[in-house]
Amino acid sequence: GAAAADGPEGSGAGSEVDGEVLSPLEALEDWKRKMEAGDFDACDDKEPLVESSALVPQGDVDVPIVAPGSMRLQGSFEGTATTSTHQLELAVGLDLEMPSQIAAEAMRQMAARSRSASPLGDRRLLASSGLPPDSIAERPSIFSSLASFFRRDAKQAQQDSQGKLALPGLSIKLDENPEVAKLEESCSQLEDERGRLAFELSMYQSQVVELQDQVDALTCERDEVVGKLDEVQRNMDTTNLHVEGLRRQADVSLNSSADLGAQLRAKECEVRELQERLDDAIQQARASGLRLDSQQAAAAEAAQRLEQGVADAQAEAQ
């Protein structure tokens, strides 16, 4: 688009660089080359990066008539407009006129937004030049320069209107107060700093929200782990009760084994007594002269009964 503004710099003359008069487009290209080459001393920090002559069409193009203290914006915008929920494709034609003071305020807000949204932005090249950080911070952005340009245009229009009210014969000289200019520049820098701090605050707030989400997630995970530990503890208590029951059963079994051992020892005593009786009977039979066959049969029967008693005792012990 193209914009035109009335003021002391509103003519279509070119800029003078190193004694050579350049057209507005050539002046802009020269400034761009100096910026890319790191020749920042060639750019005056107190002057806007865009002069009014660069905004006036050259050649046979008709320049619209604009009221003093106003700015007319003509052209088109094509791109996207993005919100948190939608994105729109735009192709808008512009032809509107607004007070230069309003345009300056809009540029000031855009400068604050651009610095806060992209702190490195167009200062990345400045940072690589090796200049002190304070010197880099004082250099205005393109939006800040446009804001200064439109403010000067509005102020010049106001001074011109005041000069027209002067009485004939009176010489009134309206000069810019350097202190006021410094204050305005300080206010602009403070606004830029406020925008940057607001952006950092929003970043910190988003980080706080993310950290809170992480804390909530860790709290839920901790509750789940505590629940699992409680369940494991209950299972361990149940297992301990079962082990205690098995231990009592083992004690009972050992006591039963001890009783069976005592019974086995009693049976063994009975077997020894029967054996002794058998031996006595054999001796008595031999002594009394009884027939050996009948005694042997009785002895065999006694031995059989003895073996049967031992087998029964062992079976009961098992």
Domain ranges of the chain: 2-76+94-164+175-215, 258-317
3-state class (DSSP) for residue 72 = strand
How far apart are alpha carbons 188 and 105 in whole angstroms? 10
**CA dist., res. 195 & res. 184, Å (int):** 16
**Nearest one of 48, 92, 69 to 4, comparing CA atoms:** 69
**pTM, entire model:** 0.31
- Say what the pLDDT of residue 215 is: 92
Interior angle at CA 122, CA 117 and CA 126, nearest 5: 130
User: Using CB atoms within 10 A of its CB, is residue 148 exposed (0-12), middle (13-18) or buried (19+)?
Assistant: buried
Residue 48 burial (10 A CB sphere; 0-12, 13-18, 19+): buried
The identity of residue 243, as a single letter, is V
Place of tokens 């503004």: 5
Q: Determine the pLDDT at residue 62.
A: 64
Helix and strand numbers, DSSP H then E, in the chain: 7, 5
**Which residues of the chain fall short of a pLDDT of 50?**
1-15, 40-59, 117-122, 125-126, 170, 172
Residue 67 DSSP code: -
Report phi then psi at 211, rounded to 5. -65, -40
